[in-house]
């Protein structure tokens, strides 16, 4: 085959390479936007993800390293001038690399595109929840990538690129090189798009918050109940709503709406003049966050559900977490009322600092979730509800409001679904609840994240508790698995019964082989959706 024909063939392959590249990049772009949304556009939480094994795998994997080597190889070959040194013993290697690199890149993107199409069809890919902001970011990212492609593949740009090289930079090498660069830089490009639009987001958020402040300030007789803590916020909110709704017109923040923008949107969309009570769940990832939320809603009643190491990676220290959660108590007026979980040592210490009317709850409860119910009952009683009214409303509380949803699973398994979120205290409470069940007891969970310096100690304690309670433990992420496993084995579990498994199909098979009808499986934190569906059906 003549050199001209070979060059033409390689050029045709290069021209078609952007098509599979676009398909795989669409999936990659959606993932990075999803990750920013998952971390609530919080830079600290986003960066903390890359301290985990799962986060590090994004960059430290064979395929990503191969792409970097190919891009560096092309750059070195074309811009160093080494290819001119035909006397070099490495010249045949460089010549072969020069000729086939474009084909290698094309084949890589064909395989990635094929896998992406399969994932799209099976809906097994990470995608963000579609909102107005998310739609805007996706559209902006799409336009950005198409614009970049049009720019870099334009004749003037390719000619300019060729002029800088010390060796001819033909199209069959230039296109793969540019696509590799854009591929490698995708995390940075998407992150820049997100961060560049943050000022506009902040402006829009400020307008919404100010509008919400003005609206809620007009409800003079509204009683606002603020709820914060490292765990238990949502459970207490939902239980309290169920009880108070028996007597009062009550509104509450919706699921996943515990940030300033979420609370403000709830006020604007859901809060009506008829409402007598507004229950507001408050979340934060740094000091000053709870104070900001209190400035919006002006709570009269504050509930502190518990404090632990959760989100220490973003707060920086346990002391910062304690001070941040206490901001709710500090924001209460002189005639306000504070309720703190007496079953939590940090809350008990903070209780002594509070000068206004205050209550401790949950000190002598046993069963999992009962402290949340007891706390809600005490608040309701203080608001004037009778024992009879409270008792009647408690009968309507769903069994999953305590944090666990009990399901009948496949093969008559009992499934305890606690996949909403996870924190150290929640895991221990769920394990204690699992211990009340007969038969074999199994837990499926990932390692916990955003625990900062306390992570190793927390996972040692979890390992010990798993050994006390479980017959089988499947851990779905690697980060602190070795520490957890070592602790569990030291406390009595068999080595073959504490496993690292991340493949959903393998997890399902292991559960089916290990369990019998009547056994219990606890699903804790972010368990793969395929596992949840299979075991719950």
pLDDT digits (tens, 9 = 90+) for 143-178: 999 998 888 777 777 676 666 555 555 677 788 888
213 is a domain residue: no
210 is a domain residue: no
209 is a domain residue: no
Query: Does residue 187 sit in the same domain as residue 263?
Result: no
Query: Does residue 393 sit in the same domain as residue 417?
Result: no
Q: Please report, in angstroms and rounded to a whole number, the separation of the first and last CA atoms in the chain.
A: 60
Query: Does residue 251 sit in the same domain as residue 310?
Result: yes
214 is a domain residue: no
- Residue showing tokens 């209780």: 351
Q: For residue 475, what is the DSSP state?
A: E
Query: Does residue 433 sit in the same domain as residue 330?
Result: no
Query: Does residue 15 sit in the same domain as residue 160?
Result: yes
Q: Nearest CA to 104 among 28, 183, 14? A: 14
Query: Does residue 224 sit in the same domain as residue 364?
Result: yes
* Chain centroid, CA 501 distance in Å: 20
Query: Does residue 391 sit in the same domain as residue 471?
Result: no
Q: pLDDT class for 193, splitting at 50, 70, 90?
A: very high
- Measure the CA–CA gap between 503 and 36, rounded to whole angstroms: 24
Widest distance between CA atoms in the chain? 96
CB 54 within 8 A of CB 157: no
pLDDT digits (tens, 9 = 90+) for 51-74: 877 888 889 899 999 999 999 888
Query: Does residue 340 sit in the same domain as residue 466?
Result: no
Query: Does residue 269 sit in the same domain as residue 361?
Result: yes
Q: pLDDT class for 432, splitting at 50, 70, 90?
A: confident
179 is a domain residue: yes
Q: Nearest CA to 339 among 365, 385, 304? A: 304
**Domain ends where: 397, 430, 465?**
397
Domain count, the chain: 3
Query: Does residue 391 sit in the same domain as residue 483?
Result: no
**Domain ends where: 340, 362, 397?**
397
Q: Is the pLDDT of residue 425 over 90?
A: no
pLDDT digits (tens, 9 = 90+) for 71-111: 988 887 776 655 555 555 555 556 666 678 888 999 999 99
Domain of 414, CATH number, reads: 3.90.190.20
Query: Does residue 196 sit in the same domain as residue 255?
Result: no
Query: Does residue 413 sit in the same domain as residue 286?
Result: no
348 is a domain residue: yes
| Phi-psi region at 281: left, alpha or beta (left = phi > 0; alpha = psi -120 to 50) | beta
CB 336 within 8 A of CB 300: yes
| Phi-psi region at 93: left, alpha or beta (left = phi > 0; alpha = psi -120 to 50) | alpha
**Domain ends where: 346, 381, 397?**
397
Domain that holds residue 341: 219-397
Cross-strand bridge partners of residue 415: 407, 521
Q: pLDDT class for 395, splitting at 50, 70, 90?
A: confident
372 is a domain residue: yes
- What token pair was written down for 350? 């903070």
Domain of 330, CATH number, reads: 3.40.1190.10
Q: pLDDT class for 277, splitting at 50, 70, 90?
A: very high
17 is a domain residue: yes
> Whole-model pTM?
0.70
């Amino acid at each position: 085959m003549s050199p001209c024909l070979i060059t033409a063939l390689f050029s045709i392959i290069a021209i078609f390479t952007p098509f599979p590249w676009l398909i795989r990049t669409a999936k990659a772009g959606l993932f990075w936007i999803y990750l920013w949304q998952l971390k609530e556009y919080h830079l600290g939480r986003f960066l903390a993800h890359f301290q985990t094994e799962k986060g590090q795998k994004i960059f430290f994997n064979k395929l990503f390293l191969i792409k970097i080597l190919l891009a560096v190889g092309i750059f070195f070959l074309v811009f160093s001038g080494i290819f001119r040194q035909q006397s070099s013993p490495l010249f045949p290697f460089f010549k072969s690399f020069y000729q086939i690199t474009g084909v290698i890149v094309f084949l890589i993107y064909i395989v990635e595109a094929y896998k992406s199409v399969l994932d799209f069809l099976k809906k097994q890919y990470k995608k963000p929840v579609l909102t107005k902001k998310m739609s805007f970011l996706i559209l902006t990212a799409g336009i950005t990538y198409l614009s970049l492609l049009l720019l870099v593949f334009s004749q003037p740009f390719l000619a300019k690129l060729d002029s800088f090289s010390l060796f001819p930079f033909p199209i069959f090498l230039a296109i793969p090189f540019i696509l590799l660069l854009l591929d490698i830089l995708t995390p940075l490009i998407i992150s820049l798009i997100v961060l560049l639009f943050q000022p506009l987001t902040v402006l829009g958020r400020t307008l919404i918050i100010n509008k919400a402040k003005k609206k809620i300030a007009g409800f003079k007789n509204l009683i606002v109940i603020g709820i914060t803590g490292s765990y238990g916020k949502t459970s207490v909110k939902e239980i309290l709503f169920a009880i108070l709704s028996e007597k009062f017109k009550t509104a509450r923040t919706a699921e996943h709406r515990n940030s300033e923008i979420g609370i403000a949107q709830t006020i604007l969309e859901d809060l009506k003049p008829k409402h007598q009570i507004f229950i507001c769940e408050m979340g934060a990832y740094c000091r000053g966050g709870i104070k900001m939320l209190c400035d919006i809603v002006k709570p009269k009643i504050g509930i502190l559900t518990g404090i632990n190491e959760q989100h220490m990676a973003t707060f920086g220290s346990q002391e910062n977490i304690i001070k941040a959660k206490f901001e709710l108590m500090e924001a209460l007026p002189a005639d306000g009322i504070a309720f703190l979980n007496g079953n939590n040592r940090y809350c008990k210490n903070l209780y002594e600092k509070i000068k206004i009317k205050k209550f401790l709850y949950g000190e002598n409860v046993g069963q999992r979730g009962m402290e949340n119910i007891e706390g809600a009952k005490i608040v309701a009683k203080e608001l004037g509800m009778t024992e009879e009214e409270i008792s009647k409303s408690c009968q309507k509380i769903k069994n999953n409001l305590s944090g666990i949803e009990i399901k009948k699973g496949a093969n008559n398994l009992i499934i305890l679904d606690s996949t909403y979120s996870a924190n150290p205290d929640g895991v221990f409470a769920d394990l204690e609840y699992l211990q009340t069940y007969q038969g074999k007891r199994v837990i499926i969970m990932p390692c916990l994240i955003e625990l900062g310096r306390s992570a190793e100690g927390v996972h040692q304690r979890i390992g010990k508790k798993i050994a006390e309670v479980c017959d089988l433990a499947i851990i779905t992420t690697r980060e602190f698995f070795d520490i957890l496993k070592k602790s569990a084995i030291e406390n009595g579990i068999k080595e073959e019964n504490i496993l690292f498994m991340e493949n959903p199909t393998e997890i399902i098979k292991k559960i089916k082989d290990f369990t019998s009808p009547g056994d219990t499986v606890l699903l804790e934190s972010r368990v793969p959706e395929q596992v949840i569906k299979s075991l719950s059906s």
